[in-house]
Structure 1
Amino acid sequence: MTAYHKIRSIEFTGGFLPGVKLEFDETLNCIIGGRGTGKTTVLEAIRYALDRMPDPNADKDRYRAIEKLLQSNLGGGSVRVEIETLDGTCYSVVRGFGESPLVTNDEGTPVEINIGKDIVFGVDVYSQNQIEDIANDAFFQLQLIDKFIHREVDDLDRQIRETTRALEANAARILESRKAVDDLVEATRELPDVAEKIRGFEKGDEGSGGDLLRREHERKSLRAREVQLVETVRNLYGGGIQHINTVVQDLKQRFEDAFDADMAATPNRELVERIRDAAQTAVETVERHLDAAKGVLTSAQTTLKGPQADLAERQALQEKQYRELVDKHEQERAKGVERTRLEQRHADLKAKEKRLQEKRAALAELNQERERLRARLSDIRDERYRLRLGVAERLNEHLSPMIRVRMEQFGNMDEYRSLLNQSMKGSGLRYATIVDRAVERIPPAELASLIQNEDRVTLERELDLDADRATRLVIQLKDKPEVFAIETVELHDRPILELKDGQDYKDSASLSTGQKCTTILPILLMESERPLLIDQPEDNLDNAFVFETIVQSIGEVRGRRQLIFVTHNPNIPVLGDAARVFCLRSTGRSASVAKEGSVDDVAPQIMTVLEGGRAAFEARQKRYGRPMPGTKEA
């Protein structure tokens, strides 16, 4: 038998539904009742308790509407939802409005579980008219595809986030490194001139006395470099200690992040704890070894003081001898002062030249690291696309020929367009048309490359710009954080959901409202381990389609997926043979359960409350030979 998650019950304390408790079957459950009886409140309260509210950024209006409904109907009360995971573990979730969910195990002990993530329990909830919204929005369609592979996609999305953060850090280091290179290039421009002036002094030093004086000048310059060397070594020791501290803290933080609170609720908790303990031991061992390395560097710092003092003492004697020699060559004193200045300046410039070479090498390594990270990001995105393509193929096998699903890799340009618009603010250009052309004609990584290489000719040709506007575009973006963001911006995959209309397939966005629901609903009703909750799945559908699609799909997933529907269409509970039907009623001030039970138990309410209720039972009798409720045969 297929294992799947189940919602066992919901119970209200206070609010509009005080004391109401609905105990659900693991197959089909239907909630019926007149207007204002709290049907939608039940479904949205389950959503709220399980922390599955819509994304306020992507679906702001729906988020606010649900929040307003629950604030009104929960009031100062709370809702308790009992759930059972696919492995048979039971939890209770209690939540009041404006509070966080409190999760307890079957012994009543609070447990640290983020119930809103799919790690422990998954559920799909769709509000009224949300099915139509999915048909109109590529982002919602992608979410729908990903529900079939949510674990794999969640893992890949985590890897994408980590790689993206690494790319952002890499970009910051590249910008910093480029500035350092530019500064050092500027700082060493006078090196050839200084070297030439020193060579002029050397030519003038010909002769025995001059040769001796020249050698002493060279030695004085070398003494200055010796002092710089000692300072460099001292800084390297200190920097090494600081780097070790950073490595230790980063390593500890990464391991701490890896073992988050959600892992405490895994079914293999004892094994996870063993892994965590082993990792902690490894980190502590590494920390001890690195502490030993710090001790070596600290000792080296102390040891350096002895040779440094000896060097200073010896240099003082050498400097005294140098000055005595210069005093003997009084006429060379002025030249000696200038030469000394030039030699010191030359030594400083040579040191900067060496740092420039090191910075250029470091920059080259950063660029190579970026290429590796970009390749990794591309591979992860490709793997995610392959998984989504597999879902599309599965859906086509199940839903063909009436419904066709295709995947277009990188087909959604919304983030690219948004990022370009944001990046061009303050440029002084009328950039709307430029952005549109760039999105249509140039992939993000290629555009970033054109900007960084200052390829104005290609920009002019591809974007229909004159030379001045191409130059201003380059100035706006080159060597800015934005150009690196453009290089790696997410181009989301785009699902294309199509309905067969005659001999042709039409994209869901171009369909009528009824056709949109006809396209999306069969996908929602496919087998899954996650309970499916829908508020009025029959909206905008005729009765023929309700039977052909909804009722037949209910039969296909019976025993393999829990369904909870709020409905006004009697065909769903009657022809779908709902195991539990809950009929709600209202006094205007509060709501309660008027009747609950099987379809036959609640038949009088179905025939009274739902338009076409009697016809639905007659259709059941005709199709399945089951007698009408209330007759002798029943």
Structure 2
Amino acid sequence: MVSFDTPGGAKFYKADLHIHTPGSHDYDDKDAAPDDLVAEFENKNLDLVAVTDHNTGEYFEQLQEAAEGSSVTVLPGVEITTGQSGEHQIHMTAVFPPEEADALSPFLHDIGIRGDPEHAIAEDTIPKICDKTRDYGGLPILAHIDVEAGADFELTDRNNPTRQKVFDPERVAALEVVAEETADEFEDFAHIRSSDAHSLADIGSRYTFIKMDSPTFEGLRTAFADPESRLSLTSEPTTHPSVDGLLSHNGFLQDRHLQLNKNLNCLIGGKGTGKSTVIEQIRYALDIDPRSDDIEDDYNALIENTLRPDGIVEVLVTATNSDQYRIRREYGEEPEIERIPNTEDSEPQEVDLTIEQFRTEFFDVEIHSQRELVELARNEIDQLDLLDSYFDINDEIEARESVKQDIRAKNREIADLREEVDSLKAEKERFEALKQQVEVMEQKGVEEYVEGQEEWEQERAALSNVIGDVEALEEEVSSLALADQLSLTEVDDGPNEDLLQSVNETISELQDDIAEHEKELKRIVNEGRGDIEDIREKWNEENEKREKEHESLADEIEEEIGVDIEEFFDKKAELEDLRGVSEDLENKRGRLRDARGEKADLLDDLQAARQNLSQARKEGIEELNAQLGNVRVSLHSQSNRDEYTDWVNHVLEGSGVWTEHKEQITETIDPPELAEIVRNNDTETLCELADVTPTTAENFVTHDDLVEQLTKLELYEIHDRPVIELNDGGWKELNEMSDGQQCTALLSIAMIEREVPLIIDQPEDMLDNKFIFTDVVDILRSIKQDRQVVAATHNANIPIIGDAEQIVVMRSNGRAGFYRDCGSIDDDEIKALAQDILEGGETAFKRRREMYHRVV
């Protein structure tokens, strides 16, 4: 478990805002005490309740006192029987802040509720009651509108002027519905569900999740003003991967554990307060390099300035498996990962993964530094990488890389086979030369002196072959571990535990027996090899006797026929060793032909894998376009030769080949074909395909730096080319757009709905304020429930109209950055700081009020 030094911002709290008590005349459990109600609140996991007895607020004080020290906040309220009706009197509720509880009695008197609460009826109309509720600091709610005594149930004629005055979104704070689907009929209103409990058992039978900094009346008021972002009638939204917190030691940021929210987080503050530092230190902990060199230079400088020499950054994350992990990275070192247990008494567990493996398997994040989108617009390969991160194409990428690995292995095999073929060709030439030399000696009659020599050489070769086979067998036997293939069965407390235990005993005995037999087999083979070595030694002794006899006649033989007998024996022995070389050579040549054919098949497989990847990207793009509005993406398969051309240009430096000719070659010839041309020194084909001179072709195919990198050339990618367009009075591609339009298009893509957290530094840079207000904020509001967003910003529209769950206000004294305050706009101080710090803060709050026609 991890504790934080800052609050976590707004989150969903479970609320029941229509609860009766024994203070209502029709309450079932008349003997229930306030403590009983509070116990039931806690039993139902309620965080916020409103006491709304019929036409009275007298029970609130007892219940508030009973709730002190509990986890529940109790608000004062009342259910009002109004004078307007259909078949029955229409009910509404009014909920107030605790500090206004004493105003309930004069409020009820003011609207005409007097005398016995059971029979009292308000004298004022519902619109007037709504106005007076607000005058007294409360929130007016139309109660259970879709059942008896509800406004929609009783006033069925939608053209009825009374109904139209009752359903006034500028007066009514919220509608309470019984059936969820009723809410769909009233889009202009905030909606809640409440139990209308008249017994202990009914408490919490219906409820609403309300997003607030804490369960307070002010949080409720803010939620009613922005119901789309802050109210949920169904269930608490599911969790998703998130960056939960940041702690920095010995660096620029203060040594406090910053807590981030699972939804929209906004870092605000003046220049130099540390907003970008928070984002880049998260990037550093997760070891995610920026895409462009310029951004990477700025990033490295910032990390050096804020962490060097011995700074440490710790990032807490919730992964896709819902487990929590801490990533700790000291300046200049590799990240370390540990899993955080769910209980306080357990120690963190070290995770034996690299950070790259961890990001692939458990947790990843999309990070854009300041100005990174502008840089991204200039590089199509970086754009493709960004798009790839949105698609489920891991299988296709792995398939492509697997084929590449197979080709690399096949190239190594072919190179080895070529060496073996060359070696065997040399041995065959040697064999033919020896054969002729021995034939000359034999023609001189040497065989008369060394009768049976050929048979002796055959015996020598046979013994060598046998010993080689036995040595290979001995090596194979020594590596046996058959017993390891058996494993014991896990025995739980099942119905046949004894039988399973018997299986384990049998397996253990079997493992022991196999190990014993393996040991005996090794002994037998070793003993056999020794016996054969002894036999060869005896053979060597006999052969030495024979050779000594011949050596004693050596001078006589050389004098009579002119043959050196020792030379004859050496050549004869070598000839016998090489006797099978022709067959070996043909076999190797056949294997080389097969390997080249297999490689050709692999190259076809690689092309197919690339086509499959392109198709998967196109399918992903189709789904992506369905989420985009004024932006669309398309793909030109394997058409981006820029990186391929740049690489060839670089490798061919100093070759004497002009740049325009190198570009001619790469524009007309794909990497595998070009590699084969160079490998075969095929200048004629190069001249024909690329329309270059023989001199250019010769310089190209013989350039050492290129020849040494043929496998890399052969596998070089011709990338897919993404085309990103923005509809601004007509569709325009990125290279036709202004910087602001480019950022608009790329930001629209970056903010699509997905699980991976989005961390972005000043997304408003290069964008006009109208687009931020009309598009960026809408997108943020739509994705933040299911995707965490962390944004450093100086534009008020993003945190205020975007309704950021966590606003982190930062400040600096020049030497260090501090988290001054944290929270949402529920908090009056956060609201005041946001208006003061952000550009257009006051205007943004005004816009927010205009958007929802409600008091914020």
The question of a shared fold, defined as TM-score above 0.5 by the shorter chain, is answered with yes
Show the counterpart of 2:299. 66
Query: Equivalent residue of 2:779, what SS?
Result: helix
Show the counterpart of 2:666. 439
Does 1:234 find its partner at 2:234?
Answer: no
Show the counterpart of 1:572. 798
* Distance apart, 1:126 and its partner CA: 1.0
CA distance in 2, matches of 1:288, 1:5: 53
Q: Deviations over 1:356-412 (max 9, x none)?
A: 234324433443453454455444434433332222111122225x22212233333
Query: Equivalent residue of 1:118, what SS?
Result: helix
Change (3 A) 1:583 1:166: same
Does the aligned pair in 1 maintain the 2:557–2:564 contact within 8 Å?
no
Q: Which amino acid aligns with 1:182?
A: D
Q: 1:393 aligns with which of 598, 616, 622?
A: 622
CA distance in 1, matches of 2:842, 2:558: 125
Change (3 A) 1:605 1:307: same
Show the counterpart of 1:91. 325
CA distance in 1, matches of 2:846, 2:749: 29
* Distance apart, 1:423 and its partner CA: 4.7
Query: Equivalent residue of 1:40, what SS?
Result: helix
Comparing 455-464 with 235-244, greater Cα deviation is found at: 235-244
Q: Deviations over 1:455-511 (max 9, x none)?
A: 3321111233333443444444699542233222233333222223434432x2342
Q: 1:488 aligns with which of 680, 691, 715?
A: 715
Change (3 A) 1:341 1:231: closer
CA distance in 2, matches of 1:157, 1:39: 36
Change (3 A) 1:328 1:94: closer
| Residues 277-316 of structure 1 aligned to structure 2 (within 5 Å) | 298-309=526-537, 311-312=539-540
* Distance apart, 1:417 and its partner CA: 3.1
* Distance apart, 1:84 and its partner CA: 1.9
Q: 1:142 aligns with which of 384, 394, 401?
A: 384
Q: Which has the higher helix share?
A: 1
Q: Which amino acid aligns with 2:684?
A: V
CA distance in 2, matches of 1:489, 1:288: 53
Change (3 A) 1:413 1:225: farther
Show the counterpart of 2:853. 625
CA distance in 2, matches of 1:65, 1:613: 29
| Residues 524-535 of structure 1 aligned to structure 2 (within 5 Å) | 524-535=750-761
Change (3 A) 1:317 1:19: closer
| Residues 61-460 of structure 1 aligned to structure 2 (within 5 Å) | 61-74=294-307, 76-104=310-338, 105-106=340-341, 107-112=346-351, 113-116=353-356, 117-149=359-391, 152-153=393-394, 157=397, 160-161=400-401, 163-189=403-429, 219-238=452-471, 298-309=526-537, 311-312=539-540, 333-334=561-562, 346-347=575-576, 349-371=578-600, 373-400=602-629, 402-421=630-649, 423-424=651-652, 428-430=655-657, 432-460=659-687
Does the aligned pair in 2 maintain the 1:175–1:479 contact within 8 Å?
no
Does 1:467 find its partner at 2:694?
Answer: yes
Does the aligned pair in 2 maintain the 1:405–1:497 contact within 8 Å?
yes
Show the counterpart of 1:8. 244
Query: Equivalent residue of 2:429, what SS?
Result: coil
Change (3 A) 1:288 1:609: farther
CA distance in 1, matches of 2:267, 2:512: 56
Q: Deviations over 1:494-529 (max 9, x none)?
A: 3222223434432x2342101111110111111111
CA distance in 2, matches of 1:72, 1:412: 38
Q: Which amino acid aligns with 1:561?
A: R
Does the aligned pair in 2 maintain the 1:54–1:62 contact within 8 Å?
no
CA distance in 1, matches of 2:743, 2:313: 31
CA distance in 2, matches of 1:455, 1:437: 17
Does 1:31 find its partner at 2:244?
Answer: no
Does the aligned pair in 1 maintain the 2:407–2:599 contact within 8 Å?
yes
Change (3 A) 1:287 1:31: farther
* Distance apart, 1:10 and its partner CA: 2.5
* Distance apart, 1:342 and its partner CA: 6.8
Q: Deviations over 1:533-565 (max 9, x none)?
A: 111111111122112321111122131111111
Does the aligned pair in 1 maintain the 2:657–2:700 contact within 8 Å?
no
Q: Which amino acid aligns with 1:4?
A: H
- Where structure 2 has 5 or more consecutive residues not aligned to the other structure, the ranges are 1-236, 485-510
CA distance in 2, matches of 1:385, 1:340: 67
Change (3 A) 1:218 1:478: farther
CA distance in 2, matches of 1:99, 1:330: 77
* Distance apart, 1:127 and its partner CA: 0.8
Show the counterpart of 1:277. none
Comparing 339-348 with 403-412, greater Cα deviation is found at: 339-348
Q: Which amino acid aligns with 2:677?
A: L
- Where structure 1 has 5 or more consecutive residues not aligned to the other structure, the ranges are 253-282, 628-633
- Compare CA radii of gyration and give the structure with the larger one: 2
CA distance in 1, matches of 2:851, 2:553: 121
Query: Equivalent residue of 1:429, what SS?
Result: coil
Show the counterpart of 2:732. 505
Query: Equivalent residue of 1:8, what SS?
Result: strand
* Distance apart, 1:599 and its partner CA: 2.4
Change (3 A) 1:30 1:369: same
CA distance in 2, matches of 1:343, 1:197: 9
**Identity score, percent:** 28
CA distance in 2, matches of 1:526, 1:625: 28
TM-score (norm: length of structure 2): 0.60
Query: Equivalent residue of 1:149, what SS?
Result: coil
Comparing 224-233 with 607-616, greater Cα deviation is found at: 224-233
Does the aligned pair in 1 maintain the 2:726–2:732 contact within 8 Å?
yes
CA distance in 2, matches of 1:230, 1:385: 59
Change (3 A) 1:475 1:93: closer
Change (3 A) 1:548 1:301: farther
Comparing 522-531 with 375-384, greater Cα deviation is found at: 375-384
* Distance apart, 1:233 and its partner CA: 3.8
The number of residue pairs the alignment matches comes to 580
Show the counterpart of 1:607. 835
Q: Which amino acid aligns with 1:175?
A: A
Q: Which has the higher contact order (CA 8 A, sep 6+)?
A: 1
| Residues 544-563 of structure 1 aligned to structure 2 (within 5 Å) | 544-563=770-789
RMSD value over aligned CA atoms? 4.0
Q: Which amino acid aligns with 2:372?
A: Q
CA distance in 2, matches of 1:161, 1:611: 49
Change (3 A) 1:299 1:423: farther
Change (3 A) 1:609 1:285: farther
Does the aligned pair in 2 maintain the 1:606–1:613 contact within 8 Å?
yes
TM-score (norm: length of structure 1): 0.78
